[in-house]
């Protein structure tokens, strides 16, 4: 296995001439067609080449640190996924016709065809990404011996069970109403099997390095109710064990070691997965270097897709000083309004955020959560 902490493309367009080139051996971000153009570009590239490295301490474990001053908009990492998997579709405009997702290419489609062996939904039997599904398909019980439902059929049957009158609701709505019932349980089980089987593939060593367990975070200074933190921790354990149970029921082989492997896969997925924000796509992936990044509600970097591919870039969102930890916001689409809410959200992933925003009672001078004084009209 390559010892570099990131996993990215080996070839790409030369930054000087645009012709096909190989990745810089040190940073794996820039590409050069040959030594001549690499030397020609060195005065520019040397300011950011090798600007981050992996370090470890007792507080946060392994993390990424800037080893030199990094200008804003610098590309810090260029990564390809170690494994890609589908996500359950969200609520649609018409809840009677929920979207379906191909488990191979993760594209949203109106109609799917079942895999001839296991019954998993595919956009077509000749899906160009069928090799992804083949990883878990061979390990699953044949369909005729284990009838199962995925996606739309699961959603509609789920609705019929709860509403005999024929009223059918979208799975995402039903999930909110009945959180202990999961119409996509078998899809989540399939994802667990895919990641578990990927442990045996080319990128297995990198996947096995991903964090998959958490410790229950402690409530310091009474900032968050300890009972709520415990509940968040227990929710994580349930979110690991339930898909593992379903995955085990789908497999032709069983055993304690298999169960441990499936739980490890579920834990790695919950803690490290990155979701693709694309209109016609419902997928997520695990990345090697990105899994080392810390969370901050005021991050100094951001993960962005590189075009329409599943390659992603980590880009400095502001100037980063040497010695500073490189951070991202794990849920950058929204910022939870109070510190206690942010803490509980992060407790599900096994940590309590210690960023500048969460440590400052004034919320960086914004007084976002302060009471408005009716006497002096000040916060």
Q: How far is CA 215 from the centre of its chain?
A: 19
Q: Which pLDDT score, from 0 to 100, does residue 51 have?
A: 96
| Residue 336 CA, distance from chain mean position | 19
Displacement of CA 34 from its chain's centroid (Å): 35
Distance CA 330, CA 325 (A): 15
Provide the 10 A C-beta neighbour count for residue 198.
Answer: 24
Per DSSP, what are the bridge partners of residue 140?
251
pTM: 0.82
Provide the residue-wise pLDDT of the chain in tens; the chain has 379 residues: 567 899 999 999 999 999 999 999 999 999 999 999 999 999 999 999 999 999 998 878 899 999 999 999 999 999 999 999 998 876 444 444 556 889 999 998 888 898 888 888 899 989 999 999 998 998 887 765 444 455 444 444 444 444 444 444 445 554 555 444 566 788 889 999 999 999 999 999 999 999 998 877 665 544 556 777 777 788 888 889 989 998 998 887 778 899 999 999 999 999 899 988 777 888 999 999 999 999 888 899 999 988 777 899 999 999 999 999 999 988 755 555 555 566 556 666 666 677 787 777 666 666 666 666 767 665 5
CB 65 within 8 A of CB 325: yes
Tokens representing 280 are 């016609």
Strand partners, 305: 312
pLDDT score for 313? 95
- Cβ contacts of 232 within 8 Å, gap of 6 or more: 217, 344, 347, 348
Give every CB contact of residue 86 below 8 A, 6+ residues apart in sequence. Answer: 101, 102, 103, 106, 187, 191, 282, 283, 284
The predicted pLDDT at position 154 comes to 43
pLDDT given for residue 93 in this prediction: 44
* Residue 242: both structure tokens together: 């339930």
CB 335 within 8 A of CB 297: yes
User: Residue 236 in contact with residue 354, Cβ under 8 Å?
Assistant: no
Give the burial class of 102: count Cβ atoms within 10 A of its Cβ; 0-12 exposed, 13-18 middle, 19 or more buried.
Answer: buried
Q: What pLDDT is recorded for position 299?
A: 92
| Rounded Cα–Cα distance for residues 159 and 171 (Å) | 8
What DSSP string describes 80-103?
Answer: --SEEEE------SSTTS--EE-T
Three-class DSSP category at 379: coil
Residues in CB range of 198: below 8 A, 6 or more apart? 82, 83, 135, 204, 207
Sign of the C-alpha dihedral computed for residues 86, 90, 93 and 99 taken in this order: positive
HSE toward the beta carbon, residue 278, CA cutoff 13 A: 22
Q: Are 63 and 325 in contact (CB under 8 A)?
A: yes
DSSP labels, 306-337: -TTSS-EEEEESS-B-TTPBPEE-TTTT---S
Q: What is the DSSP code (8-state) at residue 70? A: B
Q: Decide: 176 and 245 in contact? Cβ < 8 Å.
A: no
Instruction: Confirm if 286 and 271 have CB atoms less than 8 A apart.
Output: no
Residue among 346, 342, 331, 136 nearest 243 (CA): 136
| pLDDT for 342 | 60
- Dist. CA 296–CA 64, nearest whole Å: 13
What pLDDT is attached to residue 144?
59
Burial of residue 17 (CB within 10 Å: 0-12, 13-18, 19+) is middle
């Amino acid at each position: 296995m390559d010892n570099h902490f990131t996993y990215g493309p080996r070839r790409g367009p030369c930054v000087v001439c645009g012709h096909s080139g190989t990745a810089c051996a040190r940073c794996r971000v820039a590409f050069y067609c040959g030594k001549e153009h690499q030397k020609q570009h060195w005065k520019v590239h040397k300011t950011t080449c090798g600007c981050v490295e992996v370090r470890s301490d007792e507080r946060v474990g392994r993390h990424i640190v800037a080893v030199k001053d990094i200008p804003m908009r610098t590309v810090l990492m260029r990564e390809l996924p170690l494994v890609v998997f589908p996500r359950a579709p969200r609520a649609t405009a018409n809840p009677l016709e929920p979207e379906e997702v191909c488990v191979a290419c993760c594209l949203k489609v109106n109609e799917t065809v079942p895999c001839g062996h296991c019954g998993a939904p595919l956009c077509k039997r000749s899906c160009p990404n069928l090799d992804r599904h083949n990883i878990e398909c061979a390990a699953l019980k044949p369909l005729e011996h284990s009838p199962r439902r995925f996606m739309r059929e699961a959603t509609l049957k789920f609705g019929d069970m709860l509403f005999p009158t024929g009223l059918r609701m979208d799975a995402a709505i039903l999930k909110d109403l009945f959180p202990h019932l999961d119409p996509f349980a078998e899809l989540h089980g399939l994802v667990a099997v895919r990641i578990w089987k990927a442990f045996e593939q080319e990128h297995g060593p990198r996947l096995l390095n991903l964090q998959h367990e958490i410790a229950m975070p402690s409530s310091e200074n009474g900032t968050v109710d300890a009972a709520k933190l415990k509940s968040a921790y227990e929710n994580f354990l349930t979110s690991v064990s339930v898909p593992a149970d379903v995955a085990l029921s789908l497999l032709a082989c069983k055993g304690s070691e298999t169960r441990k492997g499936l739980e490890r896969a579920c834990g790695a997925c919950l803690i490290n997965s990155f979701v693709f924000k694309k209109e016609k796509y419902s997928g997520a992936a695990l990345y090697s270097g990105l899994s080392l990044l810390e969370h901050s509600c005021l991050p100094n970097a951001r993960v962005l897709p590189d075009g329409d591919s599943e390659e992603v870039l980590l880009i400095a969102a502001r100037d980063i000083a040497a010695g500073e930890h490189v951070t991202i916001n794990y849920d950058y689409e929204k910022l939870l309004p109070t510190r206690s809410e942010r803490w509980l959200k992060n407790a599900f992933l096994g940590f309590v955020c210690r960023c500048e925003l969460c440590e400052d009672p004034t919320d960086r001078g914004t007084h976002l959560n302060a009471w408005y004084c009716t006497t002096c009209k000040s916060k």
